[in-house]
Structure 1
Amino acid sequence: MLESLFVPTLIVALAEIGDKTQLLALLLAARYRRPWPIIWGIVLATLANHFAAAAIGSWVASQLSPALLAWILAASFLAVAGWTLIPDKLDDDDAGAGGRYGPFLATLVAFFLAEMGDKTQVATVMLAAQYEYLSLVVLGTTLGMLLANVPVVLAGNLAADRLPLNLIRRLAALAFLLLALYAGYQAWMLATPA
């Protein structure tokens, strides 16, 4: 049961380092210099976005056979492992979303939009398809998002400039690769007659 919380927390925390939403957090922190409204905006935007993603993942899991789901998860985790190695850039559209409404609303809108189709949202769909406890997956992915973004908001440029982003991207890719291998193993075991 706790695996449903801890694995998503670790995966998203690693995947989020250097992600465009982390760059967005840095931009919002520099622009508004009011960390708590930004942090609360991140919390609510992430909960909403990742709950929707987890609901989709849970529904997909209920529609597929366990073996087919495991093969799809293995391929998806492998694809996200490769995607994680590609550095993100902050799009001008993401940076400007909600900018005139103050730090909380600007963060809420910008983070929700920036997470759409992002690798951490895709990871949330896959993790919810893999784990039974949807609420723990959402809590875990949200905690992972906060672990990666709150220090950036609180410390601004100092923390972001000192992080070994290439190493962290590789560790995140390795974590997704391990999940792909585990899902592939599960698929193989389900497909192999007993």
Structure 2
Amino acid sequence: MFESLFVPTLIVALAEIGDKTQLLALLLAARFRKPWPIISGIVVATLANHFLAGAMGNWVAGLFSPATLSWVLAASFVAVALWTLIPDQLDDDESSSLKRYGPFLTTLFAFFLAEMGDKTQIATVMLAAQYPHFLLVVLGTTLGMLIANVPVVLAGNFAAERLPLNLIRRLAAMAFAALAVYAGYQALVLSGLT
């Protein structure tokens, strides 16, 4: 049961380092200099976005046989592992037009939109399809987002400029690759090929 919480937390925390939403958190912290409304906006936006993603993953899990789902998950985790190696960049326009709404609403809208189709949202879909405790997965992916983004909001440029982003991206990619190997192994077992 706790695996449904801890694995998503770790995976998303690693994957979020250097992600566009982390860059967005840095940008919002620099513009507003009010950390608590920004952090609150991140929490609400991430819970909403990841709840939808987790619900989709939970729904998709019911569409396939366990063996087919494991093969799909293995391929998806490989794709996300490769995607994780590509550094994200943030369009400045993504949050500039929302600034007039204040730090909480700007963060809420900007984070919700920035997470659409992002690798952490896709990972949430896949993790919710893999693990049986849907709400724990959503809580775990949200905690992962907070672990990666709250220090950036609180410390601003100081922490972001000193992190070894290439190493962290490689670690996140390795974590997704490990999940791919595990899902592939499950697929082999479920298919009776081992």
Q: Same fold (TM over 0.5)?
A: yes
Question: CA shift at 1:91, angstroms?
Answer: 1.7
CA distance in structure 2 between the aligned counterparts of 1:68 and 1:77, rounded to whole angstroms? 14
Question: In the TM superposition, what are the counterparts of 1:35-184 in structure 2 within 5 Å?
Answer: 35-184=35-184
Superimposed CA distance per residue, residues 43-83 of structure 1 (whole angstroms, 9 cap, x where no aligned partner) = 00000000000000000001110000000000000000000
Task: Determine the C-alpha separation between the residues in 1 that align with 2:64 and 2:153.
Answer: 40
* TM-score normalized with structure 2 length: 0.98
How far off is 1:188 after superposition?
0.4
**One-letter identity of the residue aligned with 1:133:** H
Residue 31 of structure 1 corresponds to which residue in structure 2?
31
Q: Does the 8 A contact of 1:4 with 1:133 survive in 2?
A: yes
Q: Is the 8 A contact 2:115 2:121 kept in 1?
A: yes
Task: Find the residue that maps to 2:158 and give its secondary structure.
Answer: helix
Tell me how far apart the structure 2 counterparts of residues 95 and 149 of structure 1 sit (CA, whole Å).
16
Q: Secondary structure at the match of 1:63?
A: coil
Q: Distance in 2 between matches of 1:47 and 1:98?
A: 20
Question: Following the alignment from structure 2 to structure 1, what is the Cα–Cα distance between the partners of residues 125 and 118?
Answer: 11
Compute the displacement of 1:98 (Å): 1.8
One-letter code aligned to 1:5: L
Displacement of 1:92 after TM fit?
Answer: 3.0
1:157/1:55 CA distance change after superposition, 3 Å: same
| Cα 1:142–1:190 shift into 2, 3 Å | same
Give SS of 1:101's match: helix
- What's the % identity of the aligned pairs? 77
Long gaps (5+) in structure 2: none
* Unpaired segments ≥5 residues, structure 1: none
Task: Note the C-alpha offset of 1:193.
Answer: 6.1
Normalised to the residue count of structure 1, the TM-score between the two structures is 0.98
Runs of 4+ in 1 over 6 A off after TM superposition: none
CA contact (8 A) 1:97 1:109 kept: no
Q: Deviations over 1:96-136 (max 9, x none)?
A: 25211000000000000000000000000000000000000
Aligned residues: 194
